[in-house]
Amino acid sequence: MSSQKSTKNIPSAGLEAPPVLPANTLLTGLSAAADASSGDTDLVTLTKYHKLAGDFAQIFGFITLVILDIAMITLGFVAAYGLRAKVPFGGPLITYSPTNYAVILPVSVATVLIGFYYRRLYRLKRGYSRIDEFYRICAAVTLGIILAIALNSVILGGSFQYSRQILLYSLVFIIVFTTLARFIFGAVLGFLRRKGVTQIRLLLVGSGEVAERIARKVAESPGLGYRVVGVLSDDLLENISKNLQIVGKLNDLREVVPRYHVDEVIIAISGASQDSLLGFVDKCEDLPVNIWIYPDAFQLITTDDGAIGELTGLPLLSVKDSSLRGVNRFIKRAMDVAISALILIFSSPLLLLQALLIKVTDPKGPVLYTQERVGLDGKPFTVLKFRSMRASSEKTGPGWTVKNDPRRTKIGTFMRRFSLDEMPQFINVLIGDMSIVGPRPEQVFKVEEFSQTYPRYSRRHKEKAGITGWAQVNGLRGDTSIEERIRYDLYYVENWSILFDIKIMLKTLIVIFTDKNAY
């Protein structure tokens, strides 16, 4: 695409596009089909950059908010005690010393923080409603104080009871202090965003009144930190505001995203057919950007996992988003490392026994079987397994395992029945190639085949491959429907949570002994 041919540049405050980067920067010359291997390499690099930058911003914001909340919650409890200790309000002053309350303070602060996390007050979204945040704070503080009463009663065994007035004062003070602190925090963020810090580069897909409306809303709210870098439109001459810059046609998406360092894409194609809209969304699957659809398309796309969001009051449908980023990604990684290390340590006698039995039953082959699989961002990695097949089983190349497969060794049959052959994959988890929970990794040739056959298949690779997954604990392993497996994998990717991972781990312990498709 030639930027001179397809661009008209009439800048306006807050809407000007950045200058096109030099031709040797990132993906210059990449076609819409994105077949060039060098382009794919740059896309992977850009994807990693976006994830690292996004994760850093999320973690930094999370830590800042937690520290701020701890300070305000503690101040709220202290202020409540001080008020009750110094002002009688029609009754006697409290008799419990500050030491009694100091002992239970850490638990009380922790439970309120849990309430904040449960009410999703640590999701750093742009353009959220202050009123909605206030309601969430009220609910979170109430929940946290109820938990504090329950836990402290269990810990102290009824030897100490909260003053009811202190509880009431604490509720009020914590709500007021945290609300004010978060308001100031938001104001500081808004100031920094207006100065260009943590700015989100926004690409609009479409033209006419819809794109102009979105751009105008963005320009009216500079504190949100959005910047419209341009518009993709097949209509290069008409139906476009002079305040916007056309940076390419619809098929130029894959070139424009890395060239302009786009962070988010809003699809606002008025009157588009369902097939064309879904086809366009499919082109975005492996791009390191969040994808939103403006309301005109709501009736065209309906998904069980779509999320409704908003931008300066404009409702949007998320068709590409994941909860597994920032702090959540850090938490999941910490869980993976801790659990994998413990499993490998405590199961080491079993691992040694398996290795010995493999060599005894089939001494010609190695103990470990390695195979190239596709993982995060479509990147191949070497998966580890205990060898369960005869050494000569794949002379004709890799293939599907079938029920009563004659290639299995005696010990291999037993290991596969209880998934013991997968145990070395906890090493893959420690290395960072895999996660304990995630879509199961497939062989390279299968990924190439499935990507051509099943829409959105590549989205499975937005997260790390797992030892177990939502599809597997629902009986979808072995010779089962690929389409159903993909549906369950995508549901997991787009609905991830810590509790969801724990649920899958617990179900795995049961499925190991009951799954009839394990062979």
- Could you please report the per-residue DSSP string of 98-153? HHHHHHHHHHHHHHHHHHHHHTTTT---TT--HHHHHHHHHHHHHHHHHHHHHHHH
What's the token pair of residue 233? 């439109």
Q: Is 36 left (phi over 0), alpha (psi -120 to 50) or beta?
A: beta
Tens-level pLDDT at each residue, the chain (519 residues): 333 333 333 333 333 433 333 322 222 222 333 333 334 445 555 555 656 666 677 788 889 999 999 999 999 999 988 887 777 665 555 555 677 778 788 988 999 999 998 888 988 777 677 888 999 999 999 999 998 888 877 776 665 566 778 888 999 999 999 999 999 999 998 888 888 777 888 999 886 677 788 888 888 888 888 889 988 887 755 555 666 788 888 888 888 888 888 888 888 876 665 566 666 776 676 677 788 888 654 444 444 444 556 676 677 777 655 667 777 888 899 999 999 999 999 999 999 999 999 999 888 889 999 999 999 888 899 999 999 887 766 555 555 565 666 777 888 888 988 889 999 999 999 999 999 999 999 999 999 888 888 877 888 888 899 999 999 999 888 767 888 999 999 889 888 888 899 999 999 999 988 877 665
DSSP character at residue 460: G
The C-alpha atoms of residue 20 and residue 246 are separated, in whole angstroms, by 12
* 180 in Cβ contact with 158 (< 8 Å): no
| Residue 110: Cβ within 10 Å count | 16
Backbone angles phi, psi at 68, to 5 degrees: -60, -45
**How big, in percent rounded to 5, are the helix, strand and coil portions of the chain?**
55, 10, 35
With a threshold of 0.75, does the pTM exceed it?
Answer: no
Q: For position 74, what pLDDT does the model report?
A: 95
Hey, what domains does the chain have and what are their CATH numbers? 3-57+196-320 (3.40.50.720), 58-193 (no CATH), 327-514 (no CATH)
Q: For position 184, what pLDDT does the model report?
A: 94
The C-alpha atoms of residue 110 and residue 414 are separated, in whole angstroms, by 46
